[in-house]
């Protein structure tokens, strides 16, 4: 590995990789140096991330407009399905007797047996 020296203070530079791009950094003066084409790679990655962010923002704005236009219809189309009821924390088990307050002891190895 070649030894790169900082042009500002002649200290040894460190190489780090961000977004698949090798960046040379001077630990003493905090200078950052890029090789040919590395800035372009970073800009492409930033542009792609920006596009994803804009798409998410557009989807969110569409949902907001849909909700503001007709909240009742929006709520009907975005209901939780019946399978999600088990995740409610209101204390109502909807007649589910699988969880009657008793805990079965599992057979075999139990991690907490180590501390007994």
Q: Distance between CA atoms of 43 and 50, rounded to whole angstroms?
A: 10
For the chain, the domains span 1-34, 35-80
- Specify the range with the lowest mean pLDDT, choosing from 14-18, 51-55, 92-96: 92-96
Contact call for residues 25 and 14 (beta carbons, < 8 A): yes
pLDDT confidence of residue 74? 82
Please report which residue ranges of 1-116 form alpha helices under DSSP H.
Answer: 38-69, 71-77
Average pLDDT, the chain: 75
Q: Distance between CA atoms of 84 and 87, rounded to whole angstroms?
A: 6
- The tens digit of pLDDT for each residue in 26-79 reads 888 888 888 888 888 888 888 888 899 999 999 999 989 988 988 888 888 877
pLDDT confidence of residue 102? 58
Of residues 45 and 100, more confidence is placed in 45
94 pLDDT band, cuts 50/70/90, is low
Output the pTM of the full model: 0.43
């Amino acid at each position: 590995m070649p030894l790169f020296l900082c042009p500002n203070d002649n200290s040894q530079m460190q190489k780090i990789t961000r977004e698949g791009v090798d960046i040379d950094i001077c630990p003493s003066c905090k200078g950052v140096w890029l090789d040919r084409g590395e800035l372009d790679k970073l800009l492409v990655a930033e542009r792609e991330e920006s596009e994803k962010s804009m798409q998410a923002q557009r989807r969110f704005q569409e949902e907001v407009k849909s909700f503001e236009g007709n909240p009742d219809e929006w709520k009907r189309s975005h209901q939780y399905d019946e399978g999600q009821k088990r995740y409610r924390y209101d204390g109502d088990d909807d007649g589910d007797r699988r969880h009657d307050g008793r805990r079965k002891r599992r057979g075999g190895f139990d991690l907490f047996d180590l501390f007994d």
